[in-house]
């Protein structure tokens, strides 16, 4: 399991999640099973854990435990599966939104800047769209928008122009080709950070991550019991902003709606349990550098 993926904020997230050893919990990002195993360690005989993952490789890590169920699906369909199996309401939901170490380290998946591989970046190998399709078929304006929105790249417009110009002569088919095309936009000594941002933007778009996260958060209000917990670990500002706004305002704009009569906040269904997101310790980052950007938010379901 550890070789597949090192779970981030393991103790902190499970401490926040598990409030009842006999409760029903959901791990919507199973991966290598690190968080799931720790949750099961905290559960009693009547406790249940339902996990989701859309990656076929992750399904191979299934845990042999009668209290555990693993579903191969994107977590955007969580509510449908929980309803089908009669698991609503649940006591808590955990989401670790990071890419697994296994996905990054598997060259042919196309997630890493370390390998010259196919432009794939799909977390679900059954999905139709991949990074190659986006790079070669998106109009210049749409490429500019995704680089700007998902990675805050100041060079977004130039990147899109270069891509469109090169693909007019030859289809761009590998990560190595893409990096070669964009290398003149990098600053010396910061090449890794630049390419990482480019790849991040493409990965987010390929997997429609913001849409899936919005669907998950909205469903959490319907499936989590009163006093149940929502624990989300995010790795970039787009995700963290969505989680923060949803917890604070019950929507994704962050604008708190007020009751017309009493002036009280309307639409909020969670109470934040940490004023600032929890970050990884220096000790954890030293052991696992991918934990550096992790930010964890914890909320409790209200009676509304």
Instruction: Output the 3-class SS for 1-41.
Output: CCCCCCCCCHHHHHHHHCCCCCCEEEECCCCCCHHHHHHHH
Residues in the chain: 304
* Mean pLDDT for back-to-back runs of 10 residues, the chain (304 residues): 72 98 97 94 98 88 96 95 97 88 57 79 82 96 95 92 96 94 88 89 92 96 96 94 94 71 64 94 91 95 81
Residue 249 lies in a domain: yes
The distance from CA 167 to its chain's CA centroid, rounded to whole angstroms, is: 30
71 and 133 share a domain? no
220 and 286 share a domain? yes
Helices (H), the chain: 10-17, 34-42, 56-59, 78-84, 101-105, 131-137, 140-151, 156-167, 175-182, 191-206, 209-223, 237-249, 282-287
74 and 219 share a domain? yes
193 and 218 share a domain? no
Q: Which residue segment(s) compose the domain that 135 sits in?
A: 128-206
186 and 221 share a domain? no
Paired sense of beta strands 295-301 and 224-234, if any: antiparallel
Residue 164 lies in a domain: yes
CATH number at residue 219: 3.40.50.150
232 and 85 share a domain? yes
82 and 137 share a domain? no
Query: What is the rounded CA–CA span in Å between residue 296 and residue 69?
Result: 25
Closest CA to 95 of 4, 217, 264: 217
Given 206, 221, 245, the domain boundary residue is 206
81 and 33 share a domain? yes
264 and 239 share a domain? yes
Helix then strand count (H, E) for the chain reads 13, 10
Closest CA to 40 of 27, 52, 56: 27
Structural domains in the chain (count)? 2
Q: Which 8-state DSSP code applies to residue 242?
A: H
Residue 4 lies in a domain: no
Given 190, 206, 222, the domain boundary residue is 206
Query: What is the rounded CA–CA span in Å between residue 250 and residue 221?
Result: 9
pLDDT tens track for 87-135: 999 999 999 997 755 555 555 566 677 778 889 988 877 778 899 999 9
199 and 228 share a domain? no
pLDDT tens track for 54-75: 888 888 889 999 999 999 999 9
């Amino acid at each position: 399991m550890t070789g597949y993926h090192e779970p981030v904020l393991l103790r902190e997230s499970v401490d926040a999640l598990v409030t009842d050893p006999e409760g029903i919990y959901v791990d919507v990002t199973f991966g290598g099973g690190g968080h799931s195993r720790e949750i099961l360690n905290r559960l009693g005989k009547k406790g249940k854990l339902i996990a989701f993952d859309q990656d076929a490789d992750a399904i191979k890590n299934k845990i042999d435990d009668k209290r555990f169920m693993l579903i191969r699906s994107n977590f955007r369909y969580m509510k449908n599966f929980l309803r089908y199996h009669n698991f609503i309401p649940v006591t808590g939901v955990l989401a670790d939104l990071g890419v697994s170490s296994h996905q990054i380290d598997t060259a042919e998946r196309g997630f890493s800047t370390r390998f010259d591989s196919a432009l794939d970046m799909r977390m679900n190998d059954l999905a139709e769209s991949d990074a190659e399709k986006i790079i070669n078929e998106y109009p210049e304006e749409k490429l500019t928008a995704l680089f700007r929105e998902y990675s805050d790249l100041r060079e977004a417009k130039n990147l899109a122009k270069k891509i469109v110009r090169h693909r007019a002569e030859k289809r761009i088919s590998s990560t190595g080709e893409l990096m070669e095309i964009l290398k003149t936009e990098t600053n010396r000594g910061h090449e890794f950070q630049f390419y990482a941002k480019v790849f991040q933007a493409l990965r987010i778009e390929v997997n429609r991550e913001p849409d899936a996260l919005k669907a998950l958060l909205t469903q959490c209000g319907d499936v989590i019991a009163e006093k149940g917990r929502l624990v989300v670990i995010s790795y970039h500002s787009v995700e963290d902003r969505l989680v923060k706004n949803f917890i604070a305002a019950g929507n994704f704009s962050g604008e708190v709606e007020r009751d017309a009569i009493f002036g009280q906040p309307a639409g909020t269904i969670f109470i934040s349990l940490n004023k600032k997101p929890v970050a990884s310790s220096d000790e954890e980052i030293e052991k696992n550098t991918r934990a550096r950007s992790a930010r964890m938010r914890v909320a409790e379901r209200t009676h509304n």
